[in-house]
């Protein structure tokens, strides 16, 4: 059985992450956050339909990339 993880342990692990991975990590961390406030919603809504003009191959490539990145981001969580 594993012990509860402390914030100090998380901070220690964060310090070990290379700079080129910080954007991806930031996105993952944000995914655990609270729902956007009403103030943030219009900014988010500006992206709605951003991919509507993409061709089918472009959209499928995008979905494949997102799936791949998410599986990489979450693959180490089960250790």
- Classify burial at 74, counting beta carbons within 10 Å of its beta carbon; exposed 0-12, middle 13-18, buried 19 or more: exposed
CA 19-24-30 angle, to 5 degrees, is 120
User: 64 vs 73, which has greater pLDDT?
Assistant: 64
Query: Domain for residue 2, yes or no?
Result: no
Which domain range does residue 38 map to? 7-78
Query: Domain for residue 52, yes or no?
Result: yes
Q: Say what the pLDDT of residue 33 is.
A: 73
Largest CA distance in the chain: 49
Query: Domain for residue 1, yes or no?
Result: no
CA pair distance 46, 75, nearest whole angstrom: 31
Number of domains in the chain: 1
Query: Domain for residue 69, yes or no?
Result: yes
Query: Domain for residue 58, yes or no?
Result: yes
| Residue 69 per-residue DSSP state | H
pLDDT at 19 over 80: yes
Contact 56, 63 (CB under 8 A): no
């Amino acid at each position: 059985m594993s012990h509860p993880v402390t914030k100090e342990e998380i901070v220690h692990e964060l310090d070990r992450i290379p700079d080129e991975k910080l954007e991806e990590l930031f996105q993952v961390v944000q995914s655990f956050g609270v729902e956007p406030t009403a103030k943030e919603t219009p900014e988010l809504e500006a992206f709605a339909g951003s991919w509507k003009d993409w061709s089918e191959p472009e959209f499928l490539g995008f979905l494949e990339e997102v799936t791949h990145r998410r599986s990489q981001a979450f693959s180490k969580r089960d250790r």
